[in-house]
Amino acid sequence: MDPIGQNLIKLITNVCFSVFVFSVLIFTVIAITYQPPDPWESSRALTRVFTQFENATFQIDTTLLKTGEDLATSAAPPANANPNAVTESIIEKSEAQLTNLTLKSGCEDISAVNCSDPQVLIAIERFNLKALKSIVFLEYQTPVSGLRLDECDVAWRFRNKKEKSWRKYRDFRRFRIGYRENCTYKVLNAKGWHSGTNARRPRTTVNNANRSGENAKVAPPFHDDEINDTIPVLGSDMAFRQGKYLYYSRGGDYCKGMNHYLWSFLCALGEAQYLNRTFVVDLSICLSAAYTAGNKDEEGKDFRFYFDFEHLKEVGSIVEEGEFHRDWKNWDKTHKKKIPVKKVASYKVTPMQLGKDKSTIIWRQFDAPEPENYWYRVCEGQAAKYVQRPWHALWKSKRLMNIVSDISGHMDWDFDAVHVVRGDKAQNKELWPHLDDDTSPDALVTKLQGMIQPHRNLYVATNEPFYNYFDKLRSHYNVHLLDDYKELWGNTSEWYNEMRLLNGGRPVDFDGYMRVEVDTEVLYRAKTQVETFYNLTDDCKDGISTC
């Protein structure tokens, strides 16, 4: 063959091979650098929100708190989650099964109602479906007599349609029962939230004699049977030895803001899931001064005050730190061969490097100065592509969610809400030049009148400390503030008694972080939600030039 032709073929072959190699290189770079969208927001947005910090602490909005039941875009119910949900078709089937129904004669002369008659419950179920459209009715108890001969009290379990978790709540109301022309039952009127006291579960009586100064104030103990936040126990030495654990020593995240804490906690839990290990949970939380009445950090708070420990146990493999230490110490005392432990001194040792480690305990230690001792640093860099934060594992405390249901129930779940951010942000004219004026009482009246119909129930979720600040709204709306419901956490409340039992008999303050959690969830249940940023003011949520 002509040498020129051979050279031409070689040249073409080299060019094609070079193009192929270059294409493979480009594809590899894209595959390495690509990050799939996060289920809450884009990963870049999350990184920007949680990593913009000054003096090694997060500077983000602390007036709202999102957790797993809020962040999911959809919540698929588990199997048989609502097998007994009461719908119109279920009511019709129940009515059809009452084959022995006999119509009363002269019913207009009957003053007493037989509340145990199944037809009474059917009338109440139909009434509720029309009156309370924001909730799903899961199960009813048999009605009992009220205070009058024509009244019946009935209790039921329900779930709010806007709640993405599948927890159940309880209500009990009083209904006045009458008769139709054909002598069937109908509801004449119904009283409000928790009015049917005869249908309430019986309380346990206790001796209050030893409670100095509280004898007449403290309600008898009450336990929500939907809550099981007991600490799990491994049970035997061998069960402990056969496990694989990831243990994080306390780091610089302690006493930081709650959003910082959650970002770090979920990183640690995510690494445990990536490594297929049981995570050792420290239930002791230090509450940042931002949420305390004395503006000082408060140690010794219990994780279960704020978050749903039962749900965390169900969806993640965890062990409580105290139980973990007891089992570890007991093993070392009773066995010559010690538990294999791998100590990891730096967050720069990635989860991928620990994937094949056979040690019973991987112990991450955070002894470096800030910000090198933050837990969330483990999930930075390459680890972010492998470790996913399990947001679904973290729900708010069921005890606090009971307060949310109480507040929403008092408004019959038919209300609108406005989130008014003030506090330090309203005073910082440099970052938020218009926020103070845009959230003034006059400005709020003007702006809300264009968004919410007059005389509606209006819930104001806010960090504004002055209760009367929103008085100008009262001539236009039925205004509700969190402090209107202080009895729900006062020393005669169910919450107070449950928390005291959880806290070893010591009372628990309803602190600023609990207020944020409750405000957030009531806001999310509103039919119309008005936000401060982008609705009330043109200022950027995180300050100037961050929109």
Poorest-confidence range of 86-95, 243-252, 535-544?
86-95
Same domain, 193 and 263: no
List own/partner pairs for 212-216 with CB under 8 A and 24 or more apart: 214/491
CA distance 400 to 489: 9
Structure tokens that stand for 86 in this block: 């009461």
Of residues 223 and 313, the one with the higher pLDDT is 313
Same domain, 426 and 369: no
Contact 91, 542 (CB under 8 A): no
What pLDDT, on the 0 to 100 scale, is given for residue 55? 37
Query: In the structure, what pLDDT confidence band is assigned to residue 76 with cuts at 50, 70 and 90?
Result: very low
What pLDDT, on the 0 to 100 scale, is given for residue 302? 97
CA distance 527 to 415: 6
What pLDDT, on the 0 to 100 scale, is given for residue 357? 96
Query: In the structure, what pLDDT confidence band is assigned to residue 68 with cuts at 50, 70 and 90?
Result: confident
Ramachandran class of 340: left when φ > 0, alpha when ψ lies in -120 to 50, beta otherwise: beta
Pairing between β-strand 245-248 and β-strand 416-420 as defined by DSSP bridges = unpaired
* Model confidence at 36: pLDDT above 70: no
Q: What percent of the chain has pLDDT over 90?
A: 65
* Model confidence at 110: pLDDT above 80: no
Q: With respect to residue 56, please indicate whether it lies within any of the assigned structural domains.
A: yes
Same domain, 418 and 345: no
At 170-219, the pLDDT tens digits run: 999 999 999 888 888 999 999 999 999 999 977 544 444 344 344 444 44
What pLDDT, on the 0 to 100 scale, is given for residue 142? 95
Q: With respect to residue 496, please indicate whether it lies within any of the assigned structural domains.
A: yes
* Model confidence at 526: pLDDT above 50: yes
* Model confidence at 410: pLDDT above 90: yes
CA distance 171 to 155: 6
What pLDDT, on the 0 to 100 scale, is given for residue 103? 47
CA distance 143 to 153: 5
What pLDDT, on the 0 to 100 scale, is given for residue 326? 93
Pairing between β-strand 457-462 and β-strand 416-420 as defined by DSSP bridges = parallel
Rounded to the nearest 10 degrees, the angle between the axes of helix 88-97 and helix 118-131 is 170
Q: With respect to residue 372, please indicate whether it lies within any of the assigned structural domains.
A: yes
CATH of the domain at 410: 3.40.50
Q: With respect to residue 221, please indicate whether it lies within any of the assigned structural domains.
A: no
CA distance 386 to 271: 9
The verdict on whether omega for the bond into residue 441 sits within 30 degrees of 0, i.e. cis, is no
Q: With respect to residue 406, please indicate whether it lies within any of the assigned structural domains.
A: yes
Q: What is the separation of C-alpha 362 from the centre of its chain, rounded to a whole number of angstroms?
A: 30
Q: With respect to residue 500, please indicate whether it lies within any of the assigned structural domains.
A: yes
Domain boundary among 164, 181, 199: 199
**CB proximity list for 293: less than 8 A, separation 6 or greater:** 509, 511, 512
Same domain, 254 and 388: yes
Domain boundary among 392, 422, 445: 392
Q: With respect to residue 387, please indicate whether it lies within any of the assigned structural domains.
A: yes
What pLDDT, on the 0 to 100 scale, is given for residue 216? 41
Q: What count of Cα atoms within 13 Å lies in the side-chain half-sphere of residue 178?
A: 8
Same domain, 354 and 266: yes
At 85-94, the pLDDT tens digits run: 888 788 777 7
CA distance 175 to 152: 5
pLDDT mean across residues, the chain: 85
* Model confidence at 509: pLDDT above 90: yes
Query: In the structure, what pLDDT confidence band is assigned to residue 43 with cuts at 50, 70 and 90?
Result: very low
Pairing between β-strand 341-344 and β-strand 361-364 as defined by DSSP bridges = parallel
Domain boundary among 363, 392, 421: 392
CA distance 333 to 80: 47
Same domain, 427 and 371: no
Rounded to the nearest 10 degrees, the angle between the axes of helix 43-51 and helix 258-274 is 130
For residue 332, the SS3 value is helix
CA distance 21 to 15: 10
Same domain, 315 and 383: yes
Rounded to the nearest 10 degrees, the angle between the axes of helix 494-502 and helix 398-410 is 180
Query: In the structure, what pLDDT confidence band is assigned to residue 237 with cuts at 50, 70 and 90?
Result: confident
* Model confidence at 356: pLDDT above 80: yes
Q: With respect to residue 435, please indicate whether it lies within any of the assigned structural domains.
A: yes
Same domain, 279 and 294: yes
What pLDDT, on the 0 to 100 scale, is given for residue 109? 53
Assign 3-class secondary structure to 15-30: HHHHHHHHHHHHHHHH
What pLDDT, on the 0 to 100 scale, is given for residue 268? 98
Average pLDDT for 29-34: 47
Same domain, 403 and 388: no
Of residues 501 and 5, the one with the higher pLDDT is 501
What pLDDT, on the 0 to 100 scale, is given for residue 414? 95
Q: Which domain holds residue 165?
A: 88-199
Alpha helices (runs of H) in 52-161, residue ranges in sequence order:
68-71, 88-97, 118-131
Same domain, 286 and 329: yes
Poorest-confidence range of 25-34, 246-255, 295-304, 341-350?
25-34
CA distance 396 to 509: 17
Of residues 280 and 165, the one with the higher pLDDT is 280
Q: What percent of the chain has pLDDT over 70?
A: 80
Number of folded domains that form the chain: 3
Query: In the structure, what pLDDT confidence band is assigned to residue 27 with cuts at 50, 70 and 90?
Result: low
Average pLDDT for 407-427: 95
Same domain, 384 and 511: no
Same domain, 521 and 411: yes
Amino acid at 326: R
Contact 414, 527 (CB under 8 A): yes
At 365-407, the pLDDT tens digits run: 999 999 999 999 999 999 999 999 999 999 999 999 999 999 9
